[in-house]
């Protein structure tokens, strides 16, 4: 089981890196925001796996918060774009 968890953590770690690469590469703000969203999702996954690994269910609360609140930033960015804010790319 430990191996499975380790592998999954490595996979998700790589996923984090890839998402970050997209943040850097852009090219436009929406691309970056999407990558940020993905980043948050991967964090939820990592937290879930970590909860299993440590056998501490309290970590799930963090996952709930991300699941429930994480998309707010994206909505903020979208609102910015729709109100005519520059995409800055």
Partner 1 sequence: MEPVMAVAVGLLYAAAIFLMLRRSIVKLVIGLILLSNAANLLIFTTAGMTRGAPPLIPEGLSAPLGPVADPLPQAVVLTAIVIAFGVLAFAVVLIRRAYEIVKADDLDKMKETDT
Partner 2 sequence: MIETIKGFLILTGALFMLLAALGILRLPDLLTRMHATTKAAALGVILIMLAVAVHFGEVAVVARAFAIIVFVLMTAPVAAHVIGRAGYFVGSKLWSGTVKDELRPNYDPLTHELKSGLETDSNAVHQPRENDPK
Partner 3 sequence: MMQFAVLSGFVLAAFAPLFHRWFGERVSFVLAAFPAALALWFLGQMPAVMRGEVLFLELDWVPSLGMSLSFVIDGLALLFALLITVIGTFVLIYAGGYLKGHRDLVRFHIVILAFMVSMLGLVLADGLLTLFVFWELTSITSYLLIGFSHADIEARKSARQGLFVTFAGGLALMAGLVLLGNAGGSWSLAEINAGGIDLREHDLYLPMLLCLLLAAFTKSAQFPFHFWLPNAMAAPTPVSAYLHSATMVKAGIYLLARLQPSLGGTEAWVGILSVVGAVTMFTGAFLAVRHTNIKKMLAYSTVMALGTLTMLLGIGTEGALITFVTFLLAHSLYKGALFMVAGILDHETGTKDITAMGGLRPLMPVTAVVAIIAALSLAGAPPLFGFIAKEMMFEAALEAEVFGWLVLLLAFVSAFLTIAVAAIIALRPFFGERRTTPRVAHEAPLSMLLGPACLAALSLLLGVLPVLAGMGVLTAAASAVMGEPVSVYLSLWHGINLPLVMSIVTLALGYLLFKRWDRVRAHLARLDPVMARGPEAGYEAFMHWVTVVSEWQTRILQNGYMRNYILVMVLVLIALLGNSLLLRHPLEIAFELDVRFHEVVVVAMMVLGALFAAIARSRLSAVVSVGIMGFSIALTFILFSAPDLGITQLLVETLTVILLVLVLFRLPRFASLSTPLERVRDVLVAGSVGVLITLLILTAWGIDQFVPISEYMIENSVPLAHGRNIVNVILVDYRSLDTLGEIFVLALAAIGVIAMLKLRAPVKPAKPAAQEKESSHG
- What token pair was written down for 41? 């999702």
Residue 32 binds what, of partner 2, partner 3, partner 1, none (CB under 5 to 8 Å, by partner type)?
partner 3
Q: DSSP for 27-56?
A: -SHHHHHHHHHHHHHHHHHHHHHHHHHHT-
Residue 88 binds what, of partner 2, partner 1, partner 3, none (CB under 5 to 8 Å, by partner type)?
partner 3
Lookup result for tokens 């994480």:
70
- What token pair was written down for 74? 């994206």
75 is a contact residue toward partner 2 (CB under 8 A): yes
N-term to C-term CA, the chain: 45
User: What is the binding site for partner 2 (CB under 8 A)?
Assistant: 1, 4-5, 7-9, 11-12, 14-19, 21-22, 28, 30-31, 33-35, 37-38, 41-42, 44-45, 48-49, 51-52, 57, 60-61, 63-64, 67-68, 70-71, 74-75, 77-79, 81-82, 87
């Amino acid at each position: 089981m430990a191996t499975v968890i380790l592998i999954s953590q490595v996979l998700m770690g790589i996923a984090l890196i890839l998402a970050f690469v997209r943040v850097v590469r852009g090219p436009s703000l929406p691309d970056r925001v999407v990558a940020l969203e993905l980043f948050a999702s991967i964090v939820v996954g990592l937290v879930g796996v970590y909860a299993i690994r440590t056998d501490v269910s309290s970590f799930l609360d963090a996952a709930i918060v991300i699941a429930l609140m994480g998309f707010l930033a994206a909505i903020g960015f979208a609102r910015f774009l729709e109100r005519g804010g520059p995409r800055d790319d």
